[in-house]
Amino acid sequence: MTDAPYILHYAPDNASLIVRLVLEELGQPFRTELVDRKARAQDGDAYRRLNPNGLIPVLETPDGPIFETGAILLWLSERHGALAPQPGDPARAGFLKWQFFTSNTLHADIRLHFYPARYAGDPDCVTAFALATRTRILRHLLLMEAMARDRPGWFAPDTPSILTSYVSCLLRWLALYPEGGTGWFDLSRSPALHAVAAAMEVRPAARKAALAEGLGETIFTRPTYACPPEGSAT
């Protein structure tokens, strides 16, 4: 480790963006190490020693490297006692179910949506697979919108949390990817989620992340493709 307690292994506008946002919200010093996707650095021996799955991100910590976005976020929240209800708080049960729903269900289906040919098996099934995945994502978003309308203390426009950071990034990527295949997604149809994303994108943490990764201005509500100073988003 260096004098910074954390090293974030990242690629621009990848899942590492969620972790960057949370580190900025926490005010924690960190440095970044680019994972060059163009060179498939995530498949190299050095990176696989940190994350044997070869996925981005990894966060190096004083307790060792952590992979899996949801795990990193929970660890940071508990380590610093912020951005989520802590153990013993009665609100933690409600928070955890939606945090894990976002990580294990919504995010997982979004990955299938972005890369249907990898997961469909039979090439003749790709179109049907993609349609079924999109249908599930729309159902997930309806559930998230209903939750957001209730404005729980850990998911509201005026209350940043690890979950608002997570969901805002997922909404960004649904509006951008796959290129040419986003016409079905309209954030304005989910006003409660839109309100959270709009509040998140003007926070100082989001502005710092946008500058570092070349994300533009309205990074969650009207996103544009990243133009990063280093590396590639894809």
What HEC string does the chain produce? CCCCCEEEEECCCCCHHHHHHHHHHHCCCEEEEECCCCCCHHHCHHHHHHCCCCCCCEEEECCEEEECHHHHHHHHHHHHCCCCCCCCCCCHHHHHHHHHHHHHHHHHHHHHHHCHHHHCCCHHHHHHHHHHHHHHHHHHHHHHHHHHHCCCCCCECCECCHHHHHHHHHHHHHHHCCCCCCCCCCHHHCHHHHHHHHHHHCCHHHHHHHHHHCCCCCCCCCCCCCCCCCCCCC
Give the architecture (CATH level 2) of 92-202: Up-down Bundle (1.20)
Q: For the segment 184-200, what is each residue's pLDDT rounded down to a tens digit?
A: 999 999 999 999 999 99
Residue 28 pLDDT grade (very low, low, confident, very high; cuts 50, 70, 90): very high
Q: For the segment 39-48, what is each residue's pLDDT rounded down to a tens digit?
A: 999 999 999 9
**Per-residue pLDDT averaged across 56-69, rounded?**
97
Every domain of the chain and the residues it spans = 92-202
Q: Residue 176 above 70 pLDDT?
A: yes
The pLDDT of residue 217: 94
**Per-residue pLDDT averaged across 132-153, rounded?**
97
The tokens describing 217, both together, are 């201005």
Q: Residue 1 above 90 pLDDT?
A: no
- The Cα 224–Cα 13 span in angstroms is 11
Share of the chain above pLDDT 70, in %: 99
Q: Residue 2 above 70 pLDDT?
A: no
Q: Tell me the whole-structure pTM to 2 decimals.
A: 0.96
